[in-house]
Amino acid sequence: MRSATGAPSRQCECRPRAASVTCQVPCAVAHQCYIPWVSNTERIGLRELRQHASRYVDMVERGASIEVTRRGRTVARLIPAGVTVDLDDLIGSGELTVPEDTDDLLAVRPAPPVTDGHSVGEELRRLREEERW
Domain spanning 40-99, CATH class: alpha beta
- At 40, is the pLDDT very low, low, confident or very high (cuts 50, 70, 90)? low
Please give the model's pTM, rounded to 2 decimal places.
0.38
- At 102, is the pLDDT very low, low, confident or very high (cuts 50, 70, 90)? low
**Where in the chain are all domains bearing CATH 3.40.1620.10?**
40-99
- At 49, is the pLDDT very low, low, confident or very high (cuts 50, 70, 90)? very high
Q: What is the pLDDT of residues 50-96, one digit of tens each?
A: 999 999 999 988 888 899 999 989 999 888 887 776 777 778 888 77
SS (H, E, C) the chain: CECCCCCECEECCCCCCCCCCEECCCHHHHHHHHCCCCCCEEEEEHHHHHHCHHHHHHHHHCCCEEEEEECCEEEEEECCCCCCCCHHHHHHHCCCCCCCCCCCHHHCCCCCCCCCCCCHHHHHHHHHHHHHC
